Structure 1
Amino acid sequence: MDTRGGEFPQQDTDFGTAVEFVYRMTAADFEEALRARARRSAAGRLQALTAPVVGAVSVSVFSVLQDATLLVWGISLVLTVPLMFWATGRGLRTMARRLFSIMDSYGQCRMVADERGAVTTGEHASFSMDWTVFPEYLETPGLFVLLGGDRATGVAVLPKRGAQGPADVDRLRAILDRNLKRL
């Protein structure tokens, strides 16, 4: 993928150069990405907290309607809220496995990113995206996770292990910093 033409400032030698990652996705990559999204983005936190809050409210309303004692209400609440957090975690794991089952057919992927966006080519499919598709990103120890914003559920996962060297991770981080908002 070529870059936009023109002169770039001398002090930033990476500006305008493409970076390449080669990787094969794993279910663990998607689970790490979804957990990071649940912790660090507003949409992810909302999704992660919905079930426990609904569970707590449901138990409270049911306890009031049934004239349950304070002890019964308290025990029900103590049992329900952790169960809902556990169910939310299991739901993230299930979602990660489903996303992986879709991406697994891509096989080994080659992603090339520059100032315009990224092009990913797999063994059986390819796609390209402009940076405007994912206005935000976050970074975990093993991944770059591109997020579709608060109103979109789009998530793109770029494993750092696909970099040709440590400098490529830094170059991709610089490209993302210039084009996306870091969470």
Structure 2
Amino acid sequence: MSEQQEAVHGAVELRYDPELRDYTAALRARGRVSAAARRQRILVGAATVCLVAATFLSLARGADMPAALPVALLVCGSLLFLSPWLVARQLFRFVRRQGEFRVRVEESGVSVDTHNASTVIRWQAQPRYMETADLFVMLSDDKNATSLTVIAKRGARDRSDVDRLREILDRHLTKV
């Protein structure tokens, strides 16, 4: 293999410390393809709309508004926007104890090494991916995208590594 081919088809290595924002963004991205997340958004959104309508009807009639109504509206509205962050916080408690992430992406799959664990993910295990401004998020192909792998672009040595990583993912995974 020539040096140029080696540079294009060689492994990409990244090193980074995980951050809460990585997992918040990854869960928001996953929520766009997860059936369970869509159901949750629809149900919480519908509950919020119903509570807003009930509040306006109470106010329009001049009736006393039950105290629980604004509280329920606040809770439902907050859940609609905060749930990815809340779940990411719980997940991040575990992730941050892993220490620095060392990720190697190559033609056979992705390996992730931390201070406490090593994992190899073959392309068949997570055959889809999404890209955000700061991340690549690999996803399982079940309807809820139960399994995911977060790869932070900031761990790349330079921009060309990010481009090569994208090329490897494009060759082996379906971009969603």
Question: Does the C-alpha gap of structure 1 residues 130 and 168 become closer, same or farther in structure 2, counting only changes over 3 Å?
Answer: same
CA distance in 2 between counterparts of 1:13 and 1:146 reads: 23
1:121 aligned partner: 113
Q: 1:18 aligns with which of 3, 6, 11?
A: 11
Q: 1:156 aligns with which of 135, 149, 157?
A: 149
2:109 pairs with 1:109:
no
Question: Does the C-alpha gap of structure 1 residues 41 and 81 become closer, same or farther in structure 2, counting only changes over 3 Å?
Answer: farther
Q: Contact conserved, 1:19 with 1:112, CA < 8 A, in 2?
A: yes
Q: Contact conserved, 2:34 with 2:145, CA < 8 A, in 1?
A: no
1:4 aligned partner: none
Aligned length: 166
Residue 127 of structure 1: how far off its partner (Å): 1.0
CA distance in 2 between counterparts of 1:99 and 1:49 reads: 24
Normalization by structure 1: what TM-score? 0.75
Residue 49 of structure 1: how far off its partner (Å): 2.8
Residue 13 of structure 1: how far off its partner (Å): 6.1
2:158 aligned partner: 165
Q: Contact conserved, 2:12 with 2:165, CA < 8 A, in 1?
A: yes
CA distance in 2 between counterparts of 1:106 and 1:55 reads: 38
- What is the DSSP-based 3-state SS (H/G/I as helix, E as strand, rest coil) of the residue aligned with 1:124? coil
- What is the DSSP-based 3-state SS (H/G/I as helix, E as strand, rest coil) of the residue aligned with 1:14? helix
Matches within 5 A, 1:18-37: 18-37=11-30
Is there any run of 5+ residues in structure 2 with no aligned partner, and where?
A: none
CA distance in 2 between counterparts of 1:35 and 1:20 reads: 25
Q: 2:39 aligns with which of 46, 49, 60?
A: 46
CA distance in 2 between counterparts of 1:74 and 1:53 reads: 21
2:130 aligned partner: 138
Q: Contact conserved, 1:52 with 1:81, CA < 8 A, in 2?
A: no
Q: Contact conserved, 1:25 with 1:108, CA < 8 A, in 2?
A: yes
CA RMSD, 1 decimal: 3.4
The sequence identity of aligned pairs, in percent, is 33
2:80 pairs with 1:94:
no
Is there any run of 5+ residues in structure 1 with no aligned partner, and where?
A: 1-6
CA distance in 2 between counterparts of 1:179 and 1:131 reads: 7
State the one-letter code of the partner of 1:172.
L
